[in-house]
Structure 1
């Protein structure tokens, strides 16, 4: 694992970061995101469509050239608007869909500035997998009892006695 790649094994691991920055497009962020994260897209909705179309219809090289220009402009805008006041000790976690080029771009710039920025390995997709696995394991952490009976059969008194 590279020093600037973060792996998260538990949801509570996210608390070790000062801020979680989701660099996916506004549409992706609106669909779902890590609670408490802020959206600083490196490609807006239209740019993401434009780059994807160029990638499929022309070439990866042409798409990467234009994408890099958009990404550089957008990172610079976010840096000026949101992050210039952050101290050297600031430690953000940067997230995209799969932990690839978009988060890697912002992570690179932030690390060059001098912040201990970390890129989430596997991106938002890995976070979702972690949440689903955690939810599946959650019921095993409790001793569940089923109490049933007709109205007036003292279910509430039983709950009060054991609660």
Structure 2
């Protein structure tokens, strides 16, 4: 179905990618190779630049995913169908779009939980889980790239 849909997908993606680059740059500046070449010395960053950039990446990649799923459904089906699916979980929307890979859907589920923990912080509720923001940002980036490829492949099929 050919419908024009206005979106900020590109902006969300660019903000996320800029934050990812900032995260990696800040991490790189914080590391100095040890003499003898085994391991690194990690310097404390009182401004926590890498941590902040990782949080920005995770947040804006979630915004990108929300927008991307909405636009995909609107363009393939209709705007009313996209509105119908707006409050559904990422996994449900991806299945509706024909993405049925259980491994990918499991990763999406974990990302959704991470995103909820981050955006709706309730530190006292989930004391058994510790997330390393930079590690989670890297996993999220790989996931967003996989989703983007999968949706592009699905667009060719449908």
Compute the TM-score of the two structures, normalised by the length of structure 1.
Answer: 0.24
Structure of higher CA gyration radius: 1
Compute the TM-score of the two structures, normalised by the length of structure 2.
Answer: 0.24
Point out the structure with the larger strand share.
1
